[in-house]
A and B are shown apart, each in its own frame.
Chain A
Amino acid sequence: MEHEELFPLLCATADGKREAFTRLYSITSGQLYAVALKMLKHRELAEEATQDAFIKIWHGASSYQRSKGTVLTWMVSIVRYRALDLMRYHNIRNEVVLDAENQAPATQMPLPTSERRRLAECLDELDQQQRQAIHLAFYGGLSHQEVVAHLDTPLGTVKSWIRRGLQSLQRCLSL
């Protein structure tokens, strides 16, 4: 599921080629649906987010540019924003989250790209609490308040873990 494979499919999609879009869907829909499902927890909502994301990808294929990341990263961005919108519309609260679900994935995907490997290395360099707070927000779609409830830590501390964690991540990634 690498950029080199997806990029020509996205270009053909931008050109209105349905077969290319079908192929793009068959390669990437599992990843996008998994992201939506982890955030939204409900199957119907995750399906709605996935549908909306692919509608947007079909219409917006020509707006992709390399400065927005790899094709897959760009697609993940689209489904995450949609999932965050749906959480807001449906007033979803993430008060109870199973620990195992929102920790770092236990198994790495096979053959990570250099970008993914670099991200994993930089995350490893963060303090454990910073990493955990960022994981909870990213994978579970938790708000600051929800991270507070989950970790039983004051709001100021949680905000500072996330802020400083993100700063360290940027320093590491831009090296």
Chain B
Amino acid sequence: MNYQKESLRNALAAEYVLGTLRGGARRRYQQLIMSNQTIAETTWLWEQYLNGLGEQIPPVAPDDAVWQRIQERLGFVQAPSATPAEKVASRKPVHWKNSALLALAASILIAVLWTNLRPDVTAPITHIAVVNDLQTNPLWLIEISDQQLRVMATDQLSAQPGKDYELWIVPANGNAPISLGVLPKRGELKAAAPDSLRSVPINVLAVSLEPLGGSPTGQPSEVLYTSHLINV
């Protein structure tokens, strides 16, 4: 599809904001928002057009417990020991696809084993991530401390010739992705941890396919994989 065409851009943005764009098309559109500024701006325009509708319905005050839990989750107040009611209210999605669950379990297992086996380094590791391919083979292992970003390519990675892979932060607030640099295709790479790793709330990490040397535009060319950061 030609996303450059204005009418198509508007049609997709409108149905994304309205919520009628579903399934795979919705997920693909979310990736487009991350990688294409014009598409992001068209989406904001439609949020302005349509979401005013949400301001026209009469407000309903939420239960006080909602504010209480927000404060707990943000660390403003200490959480009391969980009651059954809270467990229900904060229940997590139950409709995981098996493959996603397996991939997650595998990532965590690898992450845990790997954290335990790793030799001592000066600054403690705060986060790790495993970038898997679509068959859930681990391609890169990433560990982050306050000082260092360390990335290791696994032997599962068969890099495309004439291409580089670039690592990005996808901010939780919907802002444009921030590059963390080109990934190693073999061996390991150590770099000073960029400030953006600490200062920007992160949704996911993304890996894009790029011409040699990295993205020519400053934005991901083609997002291949995403990976969640795991607190350790």
Contact = CB atoms under 8 A, between A and B. Distances in A.
A25 to B, nearest CB: 6
A90 B61 CA distance: 24
B53 A139 contact: yes
Interface stretch (B70-78, B116-124, B128-136): B70-78
B4 interface: no
Given A29-B62, A68-B47, A69-B44, A60 B54 contact: no
Nearest to A159: B20
A55 B75 CA distance: 11
B213 interface: no
B67 A84 contact: no
B50 interface: yes
A93 interface: no
A170 B14 contact: yes
A58 B74 CA distance: 9
- Kindly name the residue among A37, A80, A86, A143 whose own CB sees the greatest number of chain B CB atoms within 10 A: A80
A119 B49 contact: yes
A54 to B, nearest CB: 5
B19 A73 contact: no
A47 B66 contact: yes
Contact of B172 (A60, A104, A108): A60
- Main SS class of interface, A: helix
Interface string A15-47: 000100000010001110111011000011011
A58 B17 CA distance: 22
Given A91-B95, A141-B19, A163-B11, A54 B51 contact: no
Nearest to B59: A30
A7 interface: no
A59 B89 contact: no
B161 interface: no
B80 interface: no
Contact of A30 (B60, B91, B175): B60
Contacts of B67: 25, 29
A64 to B, nearest CB: 8
B20 to A, nearest CB: 5
Interface string A99-118: 00000110111001001100
A169 interface: yes
B168 to A, nearest CB: 16
B57 A55 contact: no
A152 to B, nearest CB: 18
A105 B52 CA distance: 13
B63 A54 contact: no
A35 to B, nearest CB: 4
A84 B27 CA distance: 12
A90 B51 contact: no
B48 interface: yes
Contacts of B95: 89-91
Given A60-B172, A90-B94, A138-B50, A73 B74 contact: no
Given A59-B172, A73-B48, A166-B11, 10 more contacts: A1-B55, A29-B66, A33-B61, A69-B52, A74-B47, A76-B51, A77-B17, A119-B56, A138-B50, A170-B14
15 contacts: A34-B57, A38-B57, A60-B173, A73-B47, A73-B52, A76-B51, A91-B95, A104-B56, A109-B56, A112-B56, A116-B52, A123-B53, A143-B20, A166-B14, A166-B18
